[in-house]
């Protein structure tokens, strides 16, 4: 089979998606990641750089990737001890598996000459980020409606549903940016929280500190001990709309815009969002610890496993032809390596090739919509 390498220049297309059991999957595809050597990367070997900066794959993978030409510098094959220099181009050729999202439609609410307004479904990122490229609002709108380019005026967390506004050109995007900075555009959210939320306006004015490594935020307040507060100033106003005694519907008005601000402020008050797996309790294992354990699993992968075979839950052998793509022997996701950075009971098995087209695949997504932007 001839490998066709995609780059960011290749737009998502409608046939890239597979719909199964209420979820939207992306057919695994070959992709060239392109980056340039930053100042802090210069002087490192290509293998050391990738193993330190991109820990989702084991060290030995990068050694093998250099040897077979999956990692190249300035378009040329190099050896594993090659020392990088500033501004050099690095290409990483890999078989890409994107996580699934809910199959809800990205509904277009209003299509104007220079503005597009849509309803973003929960679980879908706004734009390419991390392990998502085609399974994004921007990618879906381009593949299914031909809208490109699009400039997000604002963002919503991946798990949040709600109103999303895009500018169709850079000039309109800049106009929106100026209005947001001037306070002429404000956002409001509705959330369902645990417990009977108090009546009247409630204001939380507490710093939010986001830990990118752990992927979560914490609230920091002055405790009188003189300990310095590292988080950024954050303020949110809340107002109860209704309650049934067990849960409450709350109007949320962020005065500032910090990462996970509403979610962590509600947790701080003692009324976390009802189905927010990350902030429902404070007893969540650090993501870094989970990642380390999974990296150890990856390093012990049995390399003798035939790359052209898959097994389902009943140990029935299935050939790659029964699936709608080929198996890549260099891919750490083909066929049976657990995902990096996700809980097994959350998005668990999306990296297993069988989940894309397997006949018996079923999985309940734990992330229904928890907030709506008004």
Q: Catalytic site residues? A: 157
3-class secondary-structure state, position 328: coil
Cβ-based neighbour number of residue 360 at 10 Å: 9
Q: Please state the φ and ψ torsions of residue 370, each to the nearest 5 degrees.
A: -120, -10
3-class secondary-structure state, position 276: coil
The continuous run of DSSP H or E covering 60 comes out as helix 59-68
Instruction: Please list the residues that pair with 220 across neighbouring strands.
Output: 207
CA–CA distance, 292 with 299 (Å, rounded to integer): 11
Range 41-65 burial, b when 16+ CB lie within 10 A, else e: beebbbbbbbbeeeebbbbebbbbb
């Amino acid at each position: 089979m001839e490998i066709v390498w995609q780059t960011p220049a290749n737009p998502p297309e409608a046939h890239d998606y597979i719909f199964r059991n209420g979820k939207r999957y992306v057919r695994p595809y070959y992709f060239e990641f392109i980056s340039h050597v930053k100042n802090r990367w210069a002087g490192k070997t290509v293998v050391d750089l990738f193993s330190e900066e991109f820990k989702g794959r084991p060290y030995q993978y990068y050694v093998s990737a250099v040897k077979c030409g999956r990692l190249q510098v300035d378009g040329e094959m190099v050896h594993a001890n090659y020392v990088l220099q500033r501004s050099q181009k690095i290409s990483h050729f890999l078989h890409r598996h994107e996580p699934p999202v809910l199959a809800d439609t990205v509904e277009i609410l209003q299509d104007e000459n220079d503005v597009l307004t849509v309803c973003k479904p929960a679980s879908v990122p706004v734009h390419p980020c991390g392990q998502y490229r085609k399974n994004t609002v921007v990618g879906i709108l381009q593949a299914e409606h031909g809208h490109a380019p699009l400039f997000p005026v604002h963002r919503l967390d991946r798990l949040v549903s709600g109103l999303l506004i895009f500018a169709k050109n850079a000039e309109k995007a800049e106009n929106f940016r100026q209005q947001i900075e001037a306070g002429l555009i404000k956002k409001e959210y509705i959330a369902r929280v645990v417990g009977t939320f108090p009546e009247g306006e409630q204001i939380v004015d507490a710093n939010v500190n986001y830990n990118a490594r752990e992927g979560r935020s914490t609230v920091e307040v002055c405790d009188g001990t003189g300990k310095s507060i590292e988080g950024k100033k954050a303020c949110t106003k809340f107002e109860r709309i209704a309650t049934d005694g067990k849960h409450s519907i709350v109007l949320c008005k962020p005065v500032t815009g910090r990462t996970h601000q509403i979610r962590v402020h509600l947790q701080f008050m003692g009324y976390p969002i009802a189905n927010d797996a990350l902030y429902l309790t404070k007893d969540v294992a650090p993501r870094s610890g989970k990642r380390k354990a999974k990296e150890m699993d990856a390093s012990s992968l049995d390399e003798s496993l035939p790359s052209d075979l898959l097994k389902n839950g009943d140990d029935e052998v299935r050939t790659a032809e029964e699936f709608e793509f080929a198996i890549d022997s260099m891919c750490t996701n083909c066929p049976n390596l657990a995902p990096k950075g996700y809980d097994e009971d959350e998005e668990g098995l999306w990296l297993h090739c069988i989940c894309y087209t397997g006949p018996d695949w079923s999985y309940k997504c734990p992330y229904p919509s928890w907030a709506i932007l008004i």
